[in-house]
Structure 1
Amino acid sequence: MAMPRLLSTAAQPLADRLRQAEQPVRLIGHYDCDGLTSSAILARALQRCGLRFHLTNVVALTPDVIDQLNSEVPALVLFSDLGSGYPDLLAQLKTSALVVDHHLPQGETPPNVLELNAHKAGIDGNREASAASLAFALALILDEANRDLAPVALAGAWGDRMYLDGLVGWNRMIADMAVEDKYLNSINRLPLTGETLADALASSLEPYLLGVSGNPAATAEVLQDLGFDPAIALGELDVEGTALLADWLALKLLEQGAGKQQRTQLFAPQLDLPRWGCSVEELATMTDACGRLDDTSTGIAMLLGSPSGRERAEAYVREHREQLLEQLACVEFERGRAIQHFRGDNAALKGTICTLALGYFLDRSLPAIGLAPRDGKLIASSRAAPQLVAQGLSLAEVMAQAASACGGQGGGHAQAAGASLPLEKGNEFIDEVDQLVAERLGL
């Protein structure tokens, strides 16, 4: 299956530069699922090229990261899932750099940088390719044997929620390649996990069941009303029982105001990875949990095949899920003129809370913003429903402009973006975002 010509053309100069690289290559990746999966793909590709590397995954590209790199004086820095939004910072780097990123580029690429950016390669970085997808393209150009990294690339795309409405573009081509190579199977089943039916509903995040997820007592009551044995294993449900449960889930999501994408996903085929012993969603969830719980090393180890890393990642999933369920049960969003926002104390959870709340029970006519402190800064995440993006809203532009006005930095995608700013600027930032969104939506 041929790679899109513009993509291969954009990736080729980076592959050529890596083949000539002095060792070790300094690899800097983002800390979320897409950042970890893209880092793991690049790490394995470098290893197979006989290149040593030094990998660090970071929350954001900041002046401190650039200062640290300049103190190390590496011969070559390779950034994954970050960089395109911060050309001014990249220009301060005292060495050459390669960037593999799918976020909206801001400004001109500095002369010391070669960039593989989805948008510059004619690909929609919001839907058609994640950073892991792009890293996979680069890995293929380095060595066709890297086709076995397709499952990791798909997990990265899944982590950035590119599965909603089905995989498209380069992501779809990767999935087709994985099916051809027998790494991927498509199976029709409900998107629930757990040893028992009660566990599956009480721990469910996607779908998030308002008043049921995170509430074992309410779960038991629901199952009793439906005539189910709470202790029955999911795999033991017969056709009639599965249909009854599916009908209840669909009605529940409709009643609580879940979005169309979320309701449709309830019946979408699940993507299984037989050689990994899990689904693409589960691989993405394990990876993301490692990043959110600040153990990126375990995430990388798991993605590179470590059994002990896999065991720790599975434990992190349980811990991370409990944290999210607890926060979702009590989160309160404050409405402004054009946005809705909340303040929390866990910066690693705010983006996921915005995503799940907006998808499953919030008013989708307004973007959702989450703020939380981290390392002496105020970190913001924002999410918008597809219809707002269709109306011309770009959260990447809004967050960048609002953060800049408050002495910070921001960027990302039209539908999902983030920012970092001084702690004391929270109220000013929210007011700025509210005004910018109102202007763009004509409110």
Structure 2
Amino acid sequence: MLKDIIDKEFYDQLKNGARRILNEDYVRVLAHYDGDGTSSAIILTNALKRKDIKFHLGYIKALDGESFRKRIEEDDITTIVVDAGSDQVQYVPEYEKIIVLDHHFFNRTTIKGININARDYNVDGTREACGATMAFLMALAMDEANADLLPFFVAGAIADKQDMGGFHGLNRKLVEAYGSKSHVFRGINLEGGNLIDSITYSTDPFFNELTGKPENVEKFLSAINVPGNLTLQELGEDQIRKLAVNLSLKLLEQGVGTEALKYLENDIMSFDGMEFSSKELSNIIDGNGKVGWNSIPVQFFLGDKTVREEMVKNWKVFKTKLIDYVYRSNKELFEESHLRYFYAPESEMAGAISGALMLYLAKQNKPLIGFNV
């Protein structure tokens, strides 16, 4: 039960928010537009649908005070803001019909709405709770039967890199308490399809001169005598070991740090009744958002299976664009005495490009900044 996992004050505040939501016929959800926010949206919209509460879903990009106030004032109905909002509610202190579910740092202020932030309850919002964690907690506070929405909480945590080195703190407690229909296996951190596709489309880890280059991947696998037409799950133990060693060497040649090297192998989860692994799920949700189609995975996971092909296609479009942008940005890095910077072609891609460059390609001795113009 949820009350056995979190402290009483945290639980009471979530139940307070849940009661307010359950008393409504129509609710607006505003989610941050990234992978964590979209995963949060999937959780909340499913929880609302199950209670026959009508909803409108929107996404937040601009987090400045004026933009946030305009979004809140668009409609005079109860609004759930998820994966953002704790710092922004200072701009709408008089607004009562707002419930914030957040995990970011914020400046505390007196408001009439409900501001639920993990950091107020001794939970590390950087490593132990993300937006999807908060959405999952609210879904559980509404009804413990929403425990089956756990895959989307996991997807959000992965999108926020909170799975590196395994789950910690509150995230770990939730997986342990509600993960009875999930299965964890330690493996090479690749996703989907045969090995040629898995490595070609791999951006996290990003393998220089392998990622995005299937002909090089074929040569690489042939040289170590690992068949590229098989999936990772179809390999024998010796083949998996050989592949892991050689991919590790590839990353070491790139000069990656210890954090990136650790990410080559990770705990991957599968879920009963779910066709995607935890990493595949996270990347599909995040990838659709990065190309401006956040609501396609929401639509799919609300039950509309007709959009599956479009959803997977959007993910591959994102991967192809990201790989191209990463290689291009790596060649066009600007060097200053204390930092490096680059210009991202699209604002939605800046974070993903920065992550790949910072972890896997750029030297580790200076900060890296991405600008969008």
Q: Same fold (TM over 0.5)?
A: yes
Could you list the per-position Cα deviations for residues 2-22 of structure 1 after superposition, in whole angstroms to 9, with x for gaps in the alignment? Answer: 22114313323212322334x
Aligned with 1:115: secondary structure? strand
Distance 2:301 2:130 in 1: 17
Give the C-alpha shift of residue 59 in structure 1. 1.8
Distance in 1 of aligned mates of 2:83 and 2:159? 12
262, 280, 283: which one aligns with 2:281: 283
Structure 1: distance between partners of 2:10 and 2:238: 47
Aligned residue number for residue 53 of structure 1: 55
Distance 1:19 1:217 in 2: 55
Counterpart of 1:325?
323
Q: Is the 8 A contact 1:24 1:51 kept in 2?
A: yes
Tell whether the 8 Å contact from 1:186 to 1:270 is kept in structure 2 after alignment: yes
Stretch deviating more after TM superposition (114-123 or 23-32): 23-32
Q: Which residue of 2 aligns with 1:32?
A: 34
1:295–1:243 CA distance, 2 compared to 1 (3 A): same
The offset of 1:233, in angstroms, is: 4.3
- 2:247 and 2:49 map into 1 onto residues whose CA distance is 45
User: Hey, what's the Cα distance between the residues in 2 that align with 1:40 and 1:239?
Assistant: 36
2:187 alignment partner, SS class: coil
* 8 Å contact from structure 1 (residues 118, 125) kept in 2: yes
The match for 2:97 is 96
Report the TM-score when normalising by structure 1: 0.77
Bigger relative CO (Cα 8 Å, ≥ 6 apart): 2
Instruction: Report the CA distance shift for 1:311/1:90 in structure 2 as closer, same or farther (over 3 A).
Output: farther
Aligned position for 1:441: none
* Secondary structure of 1:284 counterpart: helix
1:361 paired residue number: 361
Q: Which one of the candidate residues 76, 79, 97 is aligned to 1:77?
A: 79
SS of structure 2 residue aligned to 1:189:
strand
Paired residues for 1:227-246 under 5 Å: 227-246=225-244
Give SS of 1:348's match: helix
- CA–CA distance in structure 1, aligned partners of residues 178 and 108 of structure 2: 36
CA RMSD of superposed structures (Å)? 2.1
1:296 to 275, 294, 297: 294
Give me the whole-angstrom Cα distance separating, in 2, the residues matched to 1:290 and 1:218: 27
Classify 1:259/1:25 alpha carbon distance in 2 versus 1 (closer, same or farther; 3 Å): same
**Shift, 1:306, TM fit:** 2.6
User: Is the 2:184–2:270 contact (alpha carbons within 8 Å) kept by the matching residues of 1?
Assistant: yes
Structure 1: which amino acid aligns with 2:100? V
Structure 1, unaligned stretches of length 5 or more?
Answer: 374-443
Q: CA deviation at 1:283?
A: 0.8
Q: Deviations over 1:371-428 (max 9, x none)?
A: 114xxxxxxxxxxxxxxxxxxxxxxxxxxxxxxxxxxxxxxxxxxxxxxxxxxxxxxx
Give the TM-score of the pair, scaled to structure 2: 0.91
Q: Is the 8 A contact 1:37 1:303 kept in 2?
A: no
Which residue in the other structure is 2:121 paired with?
121
Displacement of 1:35 in angstroms is 0.7
Between the aligned partners of 1:194 and 1:156, the Cα distance in structure 2 is 18
Distance in 1 of aligned mates of 2:338 and 2:17: 42
1:83 and 1:90 in contact (8 A); partners too: no
- Residue 198 of structure 1 corresponds to 196
Query: Aligned to 2:265, what secondary structure does the other structure show?
Result: coil
Of all paired residues, the percent bearing the same amino acid is 27
In 1: Cα distance, 2:227 partner to 2:153 partner: 38
The one-letter amino acid of 1:16's match is R
SS at the partner of 1:250? helix
Shift of 1:68: 4.5
Task: Tell me the alpha carbon deviations over residues 313-346 of structure 1, each in whole angstroms, 9 at most, x when there is no partner.
Answer: 2111111110111111121322334332111221
Instruction: Return closer, same or farther for 1:283/1:196 CA change in 2, 3 Å cut-off.
Output: closer
Selected match of 2:11 from 8, 11, 33? 8
What 5-or-longer segments of structure 2 have no aligned partner? none
Q: d(CA) in 2 for partners of 1:51 and 1:250?
A: 49
The aligned runs of 1:156-167 (5 Å cut-off) are: 156-167=156-167
User: 1:67-118: per-residue Cα shift (whole Å, max 9, x none)?
Assistant: 254243x232211111112234333x7552110011111241x422211101
- In structure 2, the partner of 1:342 is 342
Q: Flag the 1:228–1:38 CA change in 2: closer, same or farther, 3 A.
A: closer
Q: Which amino acid aligns with 1:248?
A: N
2:98–2:114 Cα contact (<8 Å) kept? yes
Q: C-alpha distance in 2, partners of 1:253/1:29?
A: 35
Aligned with 2:22 (options 19, 23, 48):
19
1:388 equivalent in structure 2? none
